Chain A
Amino acid sequence: MSELKINGNIRQFTLPLSVADLVEQLGYAGKRIAVERNGEIVPKSQHAVTQLAEGDCLEVVVAVGGG
């Protein structure tokens, strides 16, 4: 198992794992979310071809109510 930091929490995953695989595992497939990996945006078009590595730091965000 490899460690990934997602939204500030460390979680265990089995590599190889693409961003698309991660999105699927988290239950967000088809949802309107955005992903940042190690400070860089991963565009939707790149989710399937972007492989994650041990220690990667990810942010997964959504729109919520705000002013």
Chain B
Amino acid sequence: MHQLTIAGKKYRSRLLVGTGKYQDFAETRAAIDASGAEIVTVAIRRTNIGQDARQPNLLEAVPPRQFTILPNTAGCYTADDAVRTLRLARELLDGHPLCKLEVLGDPTSLFPNMPETLKAAETLVNEGFEVMVYCSDDPIQAKMLEEIGCVAVMPLASLIGSGMGILNPWNLRLIIDNAKVPVIVDAGVGTASDAAIAMELGCDGVLMNTAIAHAKDPVLMASAMKKGVEAGREAFLAGRMPRKLYSADPSSPTSGLIGS
């Protein structure tokens, strides 16, 4: 019940995780397993020509037959570079069309360059890619990306790798309330309560990397994030009680008190 559907495929887990910044592939895999994530992001980079070609490969630790691999365009600052990277990714992954588009604006903030993101999204959708797109938390541009044909919009909660949590829940709510495709918070989550807050707002999922990889105990944090996402989702579905600013309401009976 209540599965996440992206581009027609159903997922039990609403937590999507990255594979960067881990000490080794064993730790990467252990954290992914603890997170329960089914969708796992990877980056695409040049091989180190001349170095030992027998080095272990990430996709041996995280095999595409077991996980949905989501290649990203991290490090791309133009639409052209992002499109070129994802064409290579599709070839690398045997034609698999699902991808994560991100076109960055500057190396300090890693804030998305939205004009270039929109341009790249249009090209990729026309070429048959299923585009999950990292974007600013601007409800108008999120809608534009949806209208272009992106299969999920992924606004930042705060800057990539910052761990600053959900800085503008009201913008996220505006995006969620208007969207007909899944809304996944991508970037900024620092700890499990941040993930829960994102889900309580009504997000369909949360994508994170650094919050797990840079925890003191990444595997334990991955488990915490799994529970945070699940708790937030259940709380959202359950519907929270109304807030009462000025009047308390006792939980215990007001009658039958001794000595009355």
Contacts and interface: CB of A to CB of B under 8 A. Distances in A.
Contact of A11 (B19, B22, B49, B59): B49
B12 interface: no
A67 B74 contact: yes
A28 B160 contact: no
Interface of B: 18-22, 28, 41-47, 49, 53-54, 57-59, 69, 71-72, 74, 84, 87-89, 91-93, 160-161, 207-210
A32 B88 contact: no
B88 A59 contact: yes
Interface of A: 6-9, 11, 26-28, 31-36, 39, 41, 43-44, 59-67
Contacts of A66: 18-20, 41-43, 72, 74, 209
Contacts of A36: 84, 87-88
B92 A33 contact: yes
B57 A9 contact: no
Contact of A39 (B20, B44, B84, B92): B84
Contacts of A67: 18-21, 41, 43, 72, 74, 160-161, 207-210
Contacts of B58: 62-65
Which are the 4 A-B pairs with shortest beta-carbon distances? A66-B43, A67-B18, A27-B53, A67-B209
Contacts of B72: 66-67
A45 to B, nearest CB: 10
A41 B92 CA distance: 10
